[in-house]
Amino acid sequence: MFSLLYGFWQKVFERVEYRVLILGIDSVGKTTLLERIKVDYKLSASLRPSAILPTVGLNIARVEDPACRLVFWDLGGQAGLRSIWDKYYREADSILFVVDCFEEARIAESLEVLEECLSNNDLVGVPVLVFANKQDQARGGSSTEALGSRIMDRGLFENHSIHHVAGGSAFEGFGVREGVQWLIKVMKTNQIKV
């Protein structure tokens, strides 16, 4: 009888774990975003922005939200490293794609890479959050709304009914928690569970 009750208790109170893949071209602020998430969730092992180096390979962070456990995989965005991204797609419960909205040429390159990613069959149906980063600097760049329009015009979300474009600044911190909360909500709603 005890084992039956214990099993029920475990099932009711188990922590759901979701894997979030952080993607984007090089130098768009993926690791800064990850470090900001760690600060927001009060992880002591976060880096100051000045200490962040380009990612070669993978950075991993686990954070505890009241609703679930999140595992973030931050993959390097240099052209030579993008070839390994697809090795992680099947394990991803959502995609957090970071775009630098400060420079027009970087936006165009990001949209090409996003299109390539989202065309992979392993990501069909996976929720996608595009984070329009560097809004604190984007005076001459692209607004969140303009980026969203460009993405929709290209039909990039065709196989992704669950998508959102959110703006903010990984450096300043605004928009980050809201983006993470959106991901949690859609992953829970769609019961995308490890």
Q: Which residues are annotated as a binding site for Mg(2+)?
A: 31, 55
Residue 69 gets which letter from DSSP?
E
| Secondary structure (DSSP) of 78-91 | STTTGGGGGGTGGG
Q: Is the Cβ–Cβ distance between 63 and 38 less than 8 Å?
A: yes
Q: Please return the burial class of 106, using the count of CB atoms within 10 Å of its CB with bins 0-12, 13-18 and 19+.
A: buried
**Binding positions:** 24-31, 55, 77, 133-136
Sheet of 128-133, strand order: 58-64, 69-75, 17-23, 94-100, 128-133, 163-167
**Binding positions for GTP:** 24-31, 77, 133-136
Cα(101)–Cα(144) distance, rounded to whole angstroms?
8
The partner residues of 165 in beta bridges, in order of sequence, read 130
